[in-house]
Chains A and B, each alone.
Chain A
Amino acid sequence: MPTQCFNEMYQGETVRAPYARLEDWMHAMPTEFRQMKQAEAEALFRRIGITFAVYGEGGDPDRLIPFDMFPRVFTQTEWRKLERGIKQRARALNAFLLDVYGRGEIIRAGRVPASLVYQNAAYEPAVAGIVPPRGVFSHIVGVDLVRTGPEDFFVLEDNCRTPSGVSYMLENREIMMRMFPALFRENRIEPVDGYPALLRRTLASVAPAKCEGEPTVVILTPGHFNSAYYEHSFLADMMGVELVEGADLFVESGLVWMRTTEGPRRVDVIYRRIDDAYLDPLCFRPDSMLGIPGLMDVYRSGGVAIASAPGAGVADDKAIYTLVPEMIRFYLGEEPVLQNVPTWQCAKQDDYAYVLEHLGELVVKEVHGSGGYGMLVGPSSSKAQIEAFRARLIANPGNYIAQPTLALSTTPTFVNEGIAPRHVDLRPYCLVGERIELVPGGLTRVALNEGSLVVNSSQGGGVKDTWVLSE
């Protein structure tokens, strides 16, 4: 376990500037008051209905993601750098998608191996040759960042399909403002509540060629049993658009329509929160009950826009991830502002050998895994766990990548014993349409268990309000 972690609030005894005003707040809070506020926050979350429904696992079907009231703070200077780096990445990733579904120049130039793209499970041959409106494939790019020092940020992974969690970013802020209004008077904090309006504008800006007048935008959800249903419904509400399921849509005369009480109404832009495979049973999965038959034909002929575009997933694959700095150089002619975490690909012989030798020091992940499942955190695993994982790795090396165990930064967090440092990451949400936009903030996830580096909500992670101070 790394012993020297960067604490975002304290450097030795001194308090770093962005947290200066939080020290008094923290010390002036008696335990009972804090517990009362914590209970109040939970009641608010439950009442609003922000739960993370987990069906079929027993226990409470309406689980709350633990909310930590101690905010995480960035200065304007820190944020500007992140913003520049994230926007740069979002541009490069979209350029890459447009390219690999088009002429494939980065492959011809020998900068990316063809097999890594065309044989990737997330590569979608059905959309090759299609140019979506404005050439944008990934309209919401979630970039997961970690920090190891005052100036050291690393990109852990990109999410080009449908990154979730933005409702927490918004609700965390809402609840903090309700509970601690004084904090917001003392600190000048950049607002994040413009996100839904920006998202709507972004989606409207990619309306297809055949759209007439003001575009009709909808959010497509797999339904109310989905664990992220609250978020789908929250965003629809905040954007003032309809939340539809597959069965609410149908295709007729080359266009997509939704079934309303007044008859069919045309749909121009679909913000889908379902996987490619479930979009259109005629094109992808004939056994799917979720899709809209004929949707892909309409998409191909410019009758509807889909965000993110089918096939966007090939850019956020963990094997492709290592190539993003290369994409930035190739498409933008720039040097990456944000660094990747050094990554060993077990598909490569040399890398594989290194990983096998250093399993105890590394974090090993499945190439297509998510949610913190199926991964090994070497330094915090027992010998037996490491050996069990070794067997799985040997059975299918190509399925794994490995990274050094980073000394993730910590921020003060309320725990049972009082306040203690806990490891955090950050997911900002970058919007790509006519323009590229980023609201100043994101979702900070915190590993609530002492020493843990895994921030996923399914593995004991919580969330925090994330502040960007204005100058």
Chain B
Amino acid sequence: MLSRTAENLFWIARNFERAETMARLLEVGARMALMPQAGHGYRNEWDSLLRASGTAVGFAEKYGDPVQRNIESYLFFDRDNPSSVASCVERARENGRIVRTALTTQVWDALNASYQEMRALERQPRSDLELSQLTEWTMRHAAQLRGAIDATQLRNDGYHFLGLGFALERADNTARLLDVKYYVLLPRVDFVGSELDNYQWQTLLRALSAHRAFHWAYGGDITAHKIAHFLILNRQSPRSLLTANGEALGHLDALAQAYGNATPAQERARALLAQLEKTTIEEIFDEGLHEFLTRFVRENAGLAALVQQTYLSGEAR
């Protein structure tokens, strides 16, 4: 497969996964902002959300103070924000158009339909659009894309590059979503274990569509430790760092097998997974959740860079 084809497949998945995360982030922010105690201090929930998504600087330059309406526009529609849902959907569709021949009709349909509908949404007056409508729209289309890939794509190398894109982006995104909580909490350590604290954790779970799953898995009260465990180390949780990392390794193993060639990317993924597997949640909190997540995001990005270098850059020999 052409390296450029593989690269575009990889980025279809990354862009769409990122669009979904942006929508989920918006949901977290909107719910947290509904709490009466929110909005005090120099950082409110919205500000923390911009920081966690890595869009704070761009937003400040364009709008200044974090006002909810502006943040919604910036994270959903704004083409100046490369991480906005609209930017990600448009890029994913363009990636798809470039490698149209490597996609089934169903996958192309899913990509193309989301882009066409996005353009229709953009033409509607903003006042007619509820935020929940927008987030649901995004998740629905992400699910359609995944379903189409799963049901119709050949299980060849292209499939694994799509899978790698989803897995690496998801690991990154879960870590960032989890980190929102850190930013919210930072000025108010005394809140730990309070009503507000629990509410915020629950909100995070809801945004990840994991609220009920969490209760099935853990039961009892919601605690920071349980949630962190669920999103970092739980093998059943579809968005946990361990699961996403394991999937990335699975795809790298499959590629290495198909090409008859072990690669440094595969080794790096294996090492990362081994490290996660022997980590306990206590150790993570000892290190500091934020410090742990920051380190993870960096290592995950390192793995993505290795994938790029190994398969996508065209420098393979």
Residues on A facing B (Cβ under 8 Å): 47-49, 224, 229, 233, 236-237, 242-245, 247-248, 258-264
Q: Are A260 and B1 in contact (CB under 8 A)?
A: yes
Q: Are A264 and B317 in contact (CB under 8 A)?
A: yes
Closest to B95 in A: A224
Given contacts A243-B101, A263-B317, 12 further A-B contacts (CB under 8 A): A47-B112, A229-B97, A237-B101, A245-B4, A248-B4, A260-B1, A260-B2, A260-B316, A261-B2, A261-B255, A261-B259, A262-B259
**11 A-B pairs in the complex with CB atoms less than 8 angstroms apart:** A224-B94, A224-B97, A229-B97, A236-B101, A242-B5, A243-B101, A244-B4, A245-B4, A259-B315, A261-B312, A262-B261
Closest to B97 in A: A224
Q: Which of B2, B3, B108, B255 has most A Cβ within 10 Å?
A: B2
Residues of chain A contacted by B1 (CB below 8 angstroms): 260-262
Closest approach, in angstroms, between the C-beta of A293 and any C-beta of chain B?
15
Closest to B108 in A: A49
Closest approach, in angstroms, between the C-beta of B211 and any C-beta of chain A?
37
Given contacts A49-B100, A261-B312, contact A244 B2 (CB under 8 A): yes
A262 to B312, CA, bound (A): 10
Residues of chain A contacted by B100 (CB below 8 angstroms): 49, 233, 237
The reply to whether the CB of B98 lies closer than 8 angstroms to some CB of chain A is yes
Q: Are B97 and A49 in contact (CB under 8 A)?
A: yes
Residues of chain B contacted by A237 (CB below 8 angstroms): 100-101
Given contacts A244-B2, A248-B3, A248-B314, contact A261 B94 (CB under 8 A): no
Interface residue total, chain B, C-beta cutoff 8 A = 26
A49 to B105, CA, bound (A): 10
A234 to B297, CA, bound (A): 39
Closest approach, in angstroms, between the C-beta of A62 and any C-beta of chain B?
9
A47 to B6, CA, bound (A): 24
Q: Are A261 and B3 in contact (CB under 8 A)?
A: yes
Q: Are B109 and A259 in contact (CB under 8 A)?
A: no
Q: Are B101 and A260 in contact (CB under 8 A)?
A: no
A18 to B1, CA, bound (A): 47
Residues of chain B contacted by A48 (CB below 8 angstroms): 105
A289 to B49, CA, bound (A): 41
Residues of chain B contacted by A262 (CB below 8 angstroms): 1, 259, 261, 316
A242 to B100, CA, bound (A): 12
Q: Are B97 and A259 in contact (CB under 8 A)?
A: no
A324 to B8, CA, bound (A): 46
Interface 1/0s, chain B 284-317, versus A by CB < 8 A?
0000000000000000000000000001101111
Residues of chain B contacted by A247 (CB below 8 angstroms): 4, 314
Closest approach, in angstroms, between the C-beta of A183 and any C-beta of chain B?
25
A242 to B4, CA, bound (A): 11
Residues of chain A contacted by B259 (CB below 8 angstroms): 261-262
Q: Are B6 and A261 in contact (CB under 8 A)?
A: yes
Closest approach, in angstroms, between the C-beta of B15 and any C-beta of chain A?
15
Q: Are A242 and B98 in contact (CB under 8 A)?
A: no
A74 to B245, CA, bound (A): 62
Given contacts A49-B108, A49-B112, A248-B2, contact A233 B101 (CB under 8 A): yes
Given contacts A237-B101, A248-B314, contact A260 B3 (CB under 8 A): yes
Closest approach, in angstroms, between the C-beta of A263 and any C-beta of chain B?
5
Residues of chain A contacted by B161 (CB below 8 angstroms): 261
The reply to whether the CB of B157 lies closer than 8 angstroms to some CB of chain A is yes
Given contacts A259-B314, A260-B316, A261-B311, contact A242 B2 (CB under 8 A): yes
Q: Are A261 and B101 in contact (CB under 8 A)?
A: no
Q: Which of A236, A259, A261 has most B Cβ within 10 Å?
A: A261
A12 to B259, CA, bound (A): 68
Q: Are A47 and B109 in contact (CB under 8 A)?
A: yes
Interface 1/0s, chain B 143-175, versus A by CB < 8 A?
000000000000001000100000000000000
